Amino acid sequence: MKTIDIHAHIVPDSMWRAIETRQDWHGFRHEPGEGSGTMVGNGQRTEFSSAKLRYTVEERLKDMDAQKVDVQVLSIHTPFVGYHLDPAQGLALAREFNDELASTVRRANGRLAGFATLPVQDVGLAIAELERAVTALGLKGASLDTSVNGLQWDEPAFLPFFKAAEQLGAVLFYHPQPRNNFLQDRIKRHGLNNSLGVILDDAIVTAILLAGGVLEKCPDVKICIAHGGGPACLAMGRMDKNWQDRPSTRSTSKPPGAYMNKLYYDTVVGDEITLRFLIDRVGADRVVMGSDWPFVPWHPSPVKWLQDRETLSAAEKEKILWKNLSELLDIR
């Protein structure tokens, strides 16, 4: 059995080199401070909250060994996607990151895989870069923020992107901003922007993909939502009732819940009760292991945590730990 983690982050070496030489990185500026300091861009501040973000490939692999993770699928730390940049700048950021990520994956002898980042502020450039990332660089798909400069993913302009991903067989992994989300503007107390704001963004993008017809128009597109899709599955009954009771709001031929098990959801949900609910709602075939490396502490590892869940059957654990992702990502 090979354990596979779909949800692991990386900050590119090119950013660290820019910091060391006191240069901006694609419009992001470094401010020294505690630990590795802070990056400032688009009016937002991002602290490097884990020293592991500076790990070499060798250090990462050693950490994976300690956690009994055989393969990590790497994606950019979401604050650095650069959607606010003009398209040419966004493409430059994406190409540099994707080239470096592909090189990192090749050096790891099958222990790492990768999701590209894309300049989705320009759909044509995003499609071209996704094709390059998958066909030329060998990456597995792309990681995406939950919205694009205020635009939602069911906008008609994004449909050609989903069609291209579907044709390429590329996996799209949705991950929200870790702190600079809409709840940050509403309340800054109690850490709610992270504990609740993040998963509300997960739920919103899940609902938009389902209710907006993306899964109906692209039935074979491969999409995974971080953090178990947040509370979207809990709210599906209410969404379906709205579809039934208010025909004028419908954008699909079936209620949103009919498309729920076309998505994949990772296991970064917080506790066993929530994980059991998620499995019962969408099926074990649609749940995959994630860790949110290196931001979520696991004691001792995400693998051991899953293996110790008493409410999961052996067959469910096997699917979640590796089998589903082996098939989804073609990792053998």
* Per-residue pLDDT reduced to its tens digit, 5-28: 999 999 999 999 999 999 999 999
In the prediction, which pLDDT does 1 show?
67
pLDDT band at 183 (very low <50, low <70, confident <90, very high): confident
Taking the chain, what is the end-to-end CA distance rounded to the nearest angstrom? 10
pLDDT band at 184 (very low <50, low <70, confident <90, very high): confident
Q: Closest by alpha carbon to 231, among 185, 284, 195, 189?
A: 195
Give the whole-angstrom CA distance, residue 67 versus residue 4: 11
In the prediction, which pLDDT does 301 show?
96
pLDDT band at 182 (very low <50, low <70, confident <90, very high): confident
Mean pLDDT across 210-224: 97
Q: What are phi and psi of 301, to 5 degrees?
A: -160, 160
**In the predicted structure, residue 115 carries a pLDDT above the cut 70:** yes
Residue, of 187 and 262, whose pLDDT is higher? 262
Q: Which residues lie below 8 Å from residue 84, measured CB to CB, with a gap of 6+?
A: 27, 41, 42, 121, 149
In the prediction, which pLDDT does 205 show?
98
Looking at the 3D structure of the chain, how many domains does it have?
Answer: 1
In the prediction, which pLDDT does 35 show?
81
Q: Closest by alpha carbon to 154, among 92, 108, 99, 218?
A: 218
In the prediction, which pLDDT does 112 show?
98
Under DSSP, the state recorded for 151 is: B
Q: Do the strands 264-266 and 287-288 form a parallel or antiparallel pair, or are they unpaired?
A: parallel
Mean pLDDT of the chain: 95
pLDDT band at 318 (very low <50, low <70, confident <90, very high): very high
pLDDT in tens, 125-172: 999 999 999 999 999 999 999 999 999 999 999 999 999 999 999 999
pLDDT in tens, 59-106: 999 999 999 999 999 999 999 999 999 999 999 999 999 999 999 999
In the prediction, which pLDDT does 49 show?
84
- Minimum mean pLDDT range among 3-12, 184-193, 210-219: 184-193
**In the predicted structure, residue 43 carries a pLDDT above the cut 90:** no
For residue 311, give its domain range. 4-329
Type of residue at 245: D
Which two tokens mark 326? 């082996």
pLDDT in tens, 83-92: 999 999 999 9
Type of residue at 270: G
pTM: 0.97
In the prediction, which pLDDT does 61 show?
98
* b/e burial code for range 3-35 (CB count within 10 A of at least 16 → b): bbbbbbbbbbeebbebbeeeeebbbbebeeeee
pLDDT band at 33 (very low <50, low <70, confident <90, very high): confident
CATH of the domain at 248: 3.20.20.140
